[in-house]
Amino acid sequence: MFEYISGKFAEKTPTYVVVDVMGLGYIVQISLNTYSDINSKDSGSLLTQYNVSVDVRSGESKHHIYGFSTALERSLFRSLITISGVSAGIAHMILSAFKPSELQSILVNGDVKTLTTVKGVGPKLAQKVVGELREKIAKSEFADDIIESGGNSSRQEALSALTALGFDRGKSSKVINEIIKSSDPSSVEELIKQALKQL
C-alpha cells in the first residue's frame, strides 16, 4: 500500500519516528537498527510496510506503518510475518535484537538458540522460523550481504566461484558457512577446495 515515506523527522525514538510530510505527521514504527541509521538526520526517506492486526477477542484492529532504512531489513520483516505465530510486533522485536546481516547468518546457520534470546520467541517458534526461512534466505537476492565473522570477503569470493562453477547457491552457502565455522581456512583457495569435497 505504501512503498516509502519521505519528510522531516519531527520526533525520533528507538521504537518509532514521527515523519512530517507537508504538515501531516505519520507515526512510523522502526527497529533499533533503523534508529541508529537515521539518528543523526533531520529528514529523509524510509521504506515502509503497512500492517493491520486484529485482536481476536475484541475485534479491534490496529493499523501500523513500519519503516526501514534498508531494503534488506524490510525484506526480512516481510519474510518473518509470513510465518504463523510471528506477529509484526515479534518481527519488529527480532529486527531490533539483530542487525539484518546477523539475522541472515543466524537463519542460514540454523542458530535456533540465539534466536530464542529475543523476547517472545520460544524454542518452538525459533525452530519454525529457521525451518521456514533458512533456504529462502540462502537463495535470496540479499544472500551476498550475509556476514560471517572472520571470513566475509573470502566467503563471498568462494561463493561466487562455486556459483560460477554451476553449484547450487543455497547449498554452497550452507557448506561454506559450516567450513568457516569449524576450520577457519587460511585462504579463499583452501575454502573452495574444502567446499568442493563436500558438494
pLDDT digits (tens, 9 = 90+) for 123-149: 999 999 999 998 888 776 565 555 444
Q: Quick one: CA dihedral 41, 43, 49, 51, positive or negative?
A: positive
Q: How far apart are CA 161 and CA 83, in angstroms?
A: 33
What's residue 148's pLDDT? 44
Please give the grid coordinates belonging to residue 64.
Answer: 501500523
Q: Where are the beta strands (DSSP E) in the chain?
A: 4-12, 16-21, 24-29, 43-54, 61-68
In which residue are the cell numbers 530464542 written? 116
Phi, psi of 27 (to 5 degrees): -85, 120
Please give the grid coordinates belonging to residue 95.
Answer: 529486527
Name residues whose C-beta falls within 8 Å of residue 1's C-beta, 6 or more positions apart in sequence.
Answer: 50
What is residue 143's DSSP assignment? G
Q: How far apart are CA 156 and CA 121, in angstroms?
A: 31
In which residue are the cell numbers 505527521 written? 25
Angle at 27 between CA 104 and CA 39, to 5 degrees: 60
What's residue 116's pLDDT? 93
The strand pairing partners of 60, in sequence order, are none
Portion of the chain with pLDDT greater than 90, in percent? 53
What's residue 144's pLDDT? 52
Highest mean pLDDT: which range of 85-94, 99-108, 140-149: 85-94
Please give the grid coordinates belonging to residue 55.
Answer: 485482536
In which residue are the cell numbers 568457516 written? 180
Q: How far apart are CA 31 and CA 39, in angstroms?
A: 12
Does the pLDDT at position 104 exceed 80? yes
What's residue 22's pLDDT? 95
Element (H or E) spanning 148, and its range? none
What's residue 151's pLDDT? 43
pLDDT in tens, 112-122: 999 999 988 99
pLDDT in tens, 54-88: 877 888 888 999 999 999 999 999 999 999 999 99
